[in-house]
Structure 1
Amino acid sequence: MSSKAEYLNRPPQALTFPSPPAVVTSNFPLFKLPDKARRHVIKSMNCDEILFLSLLSEKLKETVTSLNLKSRLVSITITQEIQICILVKHFLADLQFSSSRSLSSMDEMWLVFGKKWRRTNYWISKGLSIKTWFEHIKEIFHFSKIDLWFGEDSITHDMNEIRDTFNSCHEIRISNNSGSEAHVMSILKTFPTAKLMLYGDLFENGEPPSEVFIQNYDELTIEPRLASASTITLEDLLIMNSRNIEVSELSIHEKDVNRFIKHWMKGSNPRMERICINFQDYRTIDIDLVLRNLNYEEGPADRKRYFKDNSNSYYPVETICGGIDIWRRDGTLATITIRENSAKLNMFVWHPHCVTDRR
């Protein structure tokens, strides 16, 4: 029986196509082509066609897997429901699972496909669990790192089951209404990660505990709910041990930023490569207070240098124009940038691995 015949004779409730992939309806003799030619044709197909073929048989799954197609992004959103978003080439596959308390249960799933952010097709699937789908796409699209976003009502899921299913976590985002503070801390302890983003009022006293600040993250972002002042203090900033730090809605004074810079010049925050500070209510920064009693040099506005952000795979190089140069006591250079009438301060530390000569 041919692969197309296998599809046409499979139980109709297993996979429903409101708009079938072209490979289903086309008369093109794909399965009669020599192996090399068939592989070339499959590699040029849309994402939904490739995924469809990988489900037809183990042989076709092996063929698709051998093409070494790699996902550029895998993001999993966990609320009361679970959503898996995969970016392959210019195609987006969005797996939307109905509510379930177990990732091994056979849920109904909508799989939406898009190209350049326009929907091109969708499927309805029954009879396969979230865990089965995830293992399948992981195998054929060759990814090892995933981003997890815990949102509203994520507390309804078993965190150990989430961990066992979606392993190799690279980035975690936790947003408001995800659950109690105990739930948030459970997430942090269950999922080791390189990047952590905290959004909203997640903690009873308004800020994460010190055990979060001292972790060796590649990136730490803390952003309270809009119009809510952050309670992060100078002391909190000084114990942060992440490479890239971004904190928003800070209510601290410029003199605290000045003291932070002085501590850095004396040796604090040795891992830091970049820090971005956003003041509360878009308050314009008084640069004179920030720089008071510091030894610095102001660079010409037309000077361009290129900073390599080692934690950002999408925009790895940033152009730094002008800026104010300061030096650590060991000779390490850093550049402070503040746009005129801005509430944002950036500080870039020019470690050897952060310096590049190209955009």
Structure 2
Amino acid sequence: MTLFKLLFTPLTVFQKVIKLMEILEIFELSQTSKRMFACIKYTKRKIEPIRITKERFEFTICVVERKGERTGLTIHLEDWQANPIRFWKWDKFCLGVCEKQVEEKSFHCNYSKREDIDYYLTHCFNYLSDLFNNKTIAIWINRDLINESRWLFSNLNFEECRYIRVKGHEAPLTNGDMSNLLESLKPSFQISIECALDKRFSEETILNLPRVMIWHAERITYYDLLNMECEVAEFENHLFTEEDVKKFINHWLAGNNPKLIRLRLGNFESLPDWENILEGVEYEKWDGRRRPESYEISYTHLIEEVYCRNGLDFIRDDGTVGTLVHLFGSIDFVVWKNLK
């Protein structure tokens, strides 16, 4: 079907055609005319939050249609020496495309100067978010690039930031860095910190988000566990002991941490001393009539299945079931919501 014929098909036919196309194909088709862009936009093809990655040597925008999908479209901004094979142009924006990789569902584009990267990221995101009617964003950023990204944050045409992921191997993340991210992006759902934290870093600023992962959690205290508002919290390289786990189970059994769905504590490579942890606590072994053998937890771009068949169950006075299990060098505590 030619582009001309596609534009003049009945709306229901046009929508069916668009829903059968790959995200990459839709993106290319949208650039053939303003009318085509408007027609595609009207079909409201569903996508997940658009992800922007700004690392030291990686600048990308990624679109996925479903959780767990690797990519539906990825735009790479790179310092290519080759001449562009074509140009993307919309409004006053122009970006040279050097390579298209169909199997990878990606385009490799050339930025003229390093200082123009935020400009390109902004225009690409704003175009995609408008095309797919999704102004929700996820940001993956290197800690060292936070301060220089103020222009990017203020010019992205987004309505909600679902996820921030901070990486880095050099300078630690400071309160100033975190304040910049929180004030500029206002994350609503998930944050992952995979870099070192400054000695004066205030963890309380993020322990009220639904999903929190901290890779260097040496500064997270038992008091933080008791008072966090998270649904899902994952801590690696922490200082917690089996005794802390035991105390937390009793704290939860007393009716505390009502929002909690999952607490994961890494760095328990060896099988825990269950006799010590379970001392004085009533528990049950797995029973398929009480709960399933695995638990699905939804994140921004994926759904994780936690295998709990070998876990030990604790039943609170209100009937809520919590399961403690040792998996892959971590202790997981999972709370089952809405069991019938």
Same fold (TM over 0.5): yes
Alignment of 1:318-333 (within 5 A): 318=306, 320-333=308-321
The percent identity for this pair of structures is 21
Equivalent pair of 1:273/1:350 in contact (CA under 8 Å): yes
| Counterpart-to-counterpart distance in 1, 2:166 and 2:108 | 29
- The answer to whether 1:211 aligns with 2:218 is no
- The answer to whether 1:256 aligns with 2:244 is yes
Aligned partner of 1:5 in structure 2 is: none
Aligned partner of 1:244 in structure 2 is: 232
Q: 2:329 pairs with 343, 349, 354, which one?
A: 343
* Residues 253-288 of structure 1: CA deviation (Å, up to 9, x unaligned): 2111111111111232221111111126x3442222
Higher RCO (C-alpha under 8 Å, 6+ residues apart): 2
Instruction: Give the TM-score, by structure 2 length.
Output: 0.76
Aligned partner of 1:315 in structure 2 is: 303
Aligned partner of 1:9 in structure 2 is: none
Equivalent pair of 1:274/1:347 in contact (CA under 8 Å): yes
Q: Once the 2 structures are TM-superposed, how far is the Cα of residue 223 of structure 1 from its aligned partner? A: 0.9
- The answer to whether 1:153 aligns with 2:155 is no
| Counterpart-to-counterpart distance in 2, 1:267 and 1:287 | 22
Unaligned 5+ runs, structure 1: 1-27
Q: Once the 2 structures are TM-superposed, how far is the Cα of residue 136 of structure 1 from its aligned partner? A: 1.5
Equivalent pair of 2:75/2:108 in contact (CA under 8 Å): no
Aligned partner of 2:74 in structure 1 is: 94
SS at 1:153's partner residue? helix
| Counterpart-to-counterpart distance in 2, 1:166 and 1:314 | 24
- The answer to whether 1:165 aligns with 2:145 is no
RMSD: 3.5
SS at 1:250's partner residue? coil
Equivalent pair of 1:221/1:245 in contact (CA under 8 Å): yes
Higher CA-based Rg: 1
| Counterpart-to-counterpart distance in 2, 1:112 and 1:288 | 60
Q: Once the 2 structures are TM-superposed, how far is the Cα of residue 151 of structure 1 from its aligned partner? A: 1.1
Q: Once the 2 structures are TM-superposed, how far is the Cα of residue 59 of structure 1 from its aligned partner? A: 0.7
Aligned partner of 2:60 in structure 1 is: 83
Unaligned 5+ runs, structure 2: 80-90, 113-118
Gap change, CA 1:213 and 1:240, over 3 Å in 2: farther
Q: 2:132 pairs with 138, 141, 154, which one?
A: 141
Gap change, CA 1:141 and 1:263, over 3 Å in 2: same
Q: Which amino acid aligns with 1:95?
A: I
Equivalent pair of 1:213/1:239 in contact (CA under 8 Å): no
Equivalent pair of 2:77/2:111 in contact (CA under 8 Å): no
Equivalent pair of 2:313/2:324 in contact (CA under 8 Å): yes
SS at 1:94's partner residue? strand
Equivalent pair of 1:97/1:108 in contact (CA under 8 Å): no
Alignment of 1:283-294 (within 5 A): 283-294=270-281
Question: How many residues in Structure 1 have an aligned counterpart in Structure 2?
Answer: 311
Alignment of 1:287-306 (within 5 A): 287-299=274-286, 304-306=292-294
